[in-house]
Amino acid sequence: RFTLYAQQRNGFKRVPQKTEPRKPDQETGSKPYKSSLSPPVQETIFYTSSPSLKHLVKPFFFTIGFTGCAFGSAAIWQYEYLKSRVQNYFDEARADWMDKLRPQKNGDFRKQVNKWWNSLSEGQRTVTGIIAANVFVFCLWRIPSMQRTMITYFTSNPASRVLCSPMLLSTFSHFSLFHMAANMYVLWSFSSSIVSLLGREQFMAVYLSAGVISTFVSYVSKVTTGRFGPSLGASGAIMTVLAAVCTKMPEAKLAIILLPMFTFTAGNALKAIIAMDTAGLVLGWKFFDHAAHIGGALFGIWYVTYGHELIWKNREPLVKAWHEMRSKSRGKGGGGSH
Q: How far is CA 233 from CA 1, 6, 248, 326, in A?
A: 21, 11, 25, 38
Is-contact 45 70, C-beta < 8 A? no
Count of residues for the chain?
A: 338
Whole-Å CA distances, 45 to 1, 20, 32, 176? 38, 9, 11, 23
* Upper half-sphere CA count for residue 88 (Cβ side, 13 Å): 9
Contact yes or no for 239/296 (Cβ under 8 A): yes
The H or E element containing residue 110 is helix 109-119
- Write out the DSSP string of 178-222: HHHHHHHHHHHHHHHHHHHHH-HHHHHHHHHHHHHHHHHHHHHHH
Sign for the CA dihedral angle at 49, 52, 53, 59 comes to negative
Q: What is the dihedral of CA 196, 199, 203, 205, to 10 degrees?
A: -170
CA distance 44 to 52: 17
Any idea which residues carry the catalytic annotation?
Answer: 235, 293
Pairing of strands 10-11, 227-228: unpaired
Q: What is the C-alpha to C-alpha distance for residues 274 and 291, in angstroms, rounded to an integer?
A: 10
What SS3 state is found at 309? helix
